């Protein structure tokens, strides 16, 4: 995997004043973790956004700051969903010799025979799973083979994954990653239009008779 590098500078502007940094094309962020004191930093907004858009939660990002390079994972990204723009990023510095937990994207690969044989639909259970490993061993994604799903109701569980010894899954091993399910047909009751019209005419007749009887009662009362 190629090295992912972003350049950063320390910043003193904090709080609501960071909006002025954004107007200047800067992205406010913080860096903290192994061997460093928490620091407020800024990065080039456009360049960093482009890099982070391609990076996964488990991707190792090297932050270059004051002549030092810090291996990090992105722990949080804050977004302006209206403008579709990054607002803030949290970088956690990690030790290259200690295992760390990170969320890894699940990618379903292959074709489930139950889809063509029985018209089943494929339901995905989890988009990410939590993996513990050394930072350099963390995969960008995990491929889950669904070619063994031959019948409706067949599943792939976390315990079915064949992973190398350097990766440990922290989720429940019985969690479902994929399942083939039957398509439920919507049953629409057929309605006889003639019967509906006859019923409406009958109701109108009854209402008319009730109205006539009411008028007779009122006239006799007067």
Interval 13-31 mean pLDDT: 90
Q: Confirm whether 4-94 and 101-181 share one CATH topology.
A: no
145 backbone dihedrals φ, ψ, rounded to 5°: -80, 125
* Tens of pLDDT, residues 155-166: 999 999 999 999
**Burial class of 200 by CB neighbour count within 10 A (0 to 12, 13 to 18, 19+):** exposed
Please give the pLDDT value at position 17.
84
Each domain of the chain, given as residue ranges in start order, spans: 4-94, 101-181
- Per residue in 79-92, pLDDT (tens digit) is 999 988 999 999 99
Question: What per-residue confidence (pLDDT) applies to 204?
Answer: 52
Phi-psi region of 182 (alpha: psi -120 to 50; beta: other; left: phi over 0): beta
Comparing 158 with 18, the larger pLDDT belongs to 158
Whether residue 169 contacts residue 130, with contact meaning beta carbons closer than 8 Å, is answered with: yes
Q: What angle do CA 67, 139, 51 make, to 5 degrees?
A: 45
What is the Cα–Cα distance from 203 to 206, expressed in whole angstroms? 5
Whole-angstrom Cα distance, residue 140 to residue 45? 23
pTM of the model: 0.75
Would you state the structure tokens that stand for residue 178, as one six-digit string?
């994929």
Residue 110: predicted pLDDT: 96
Q: What is the pLDDT of residue 15?
A: 84
pLDDT tens digits, 106-154? 999 999 999 999 999 999 999 999 999 999 999 999 999 999 999 999 9
The domain defined by 4-94 folds into Ribosomal Protein L25; Chain P (2.40.240)
Sheet hosting strand 100-109, strand order edge to edge: 141-145, 100-109, 128-133, 168-169
Kindly state which CATH superfamily the domain 101-181 is placed in.
Answer: Ribosomal protein L25, C-terminal domain (2.170.120.20)
Helix H or strand E segment including 10: strand 4-10
- Residue 187: DSSP 8-state: P
């Amino acid at each position: 995997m190629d090295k992912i590098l972003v350049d950063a500078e320390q910043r003193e502007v904090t709080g609501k004043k960071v909006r002025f940094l954004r107007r200047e094309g800067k992205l406010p962020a913080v860096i903290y973790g192994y061997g460093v004191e928490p620091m407020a930093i800024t990065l080039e907004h456009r360049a960093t956004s482009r890099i982070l858009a391609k990076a996964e939660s488990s991707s190792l990002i090297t932050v270059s700051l004051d002549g030092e390079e810090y291996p990090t994972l992105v722990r949080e990204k804050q977004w302006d969903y209206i403008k579709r723009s990054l607002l803030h990023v949290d970088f956690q510095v990690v030790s290259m010799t200690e295992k760390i937990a990170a969320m890894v994207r699940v990618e379903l690969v292959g074709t489930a025979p139950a889809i063509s044989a029985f018209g089943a639909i494929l339901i995905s259970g989890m988009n990410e799973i939590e993996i513990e490993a050394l930072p350099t061993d963390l995969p960008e994604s995990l491929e889950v083979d669904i070619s063994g799903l031959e019948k409706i109701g067949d599943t792939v569980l976390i315990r079915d994954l064949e992973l190398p010894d350097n990766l440990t899954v922290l989720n429940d091993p019985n969690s479902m990653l994929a399942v083939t399910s039957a398509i439920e047909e919507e049953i629409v009751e057929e309605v006889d239009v003639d019967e509906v019209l006859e019923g409406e005419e009958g109701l109108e007749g009854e209402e008319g008779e009730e109205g006539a009887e009411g008028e007779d009662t009122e006239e006799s009362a007067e």
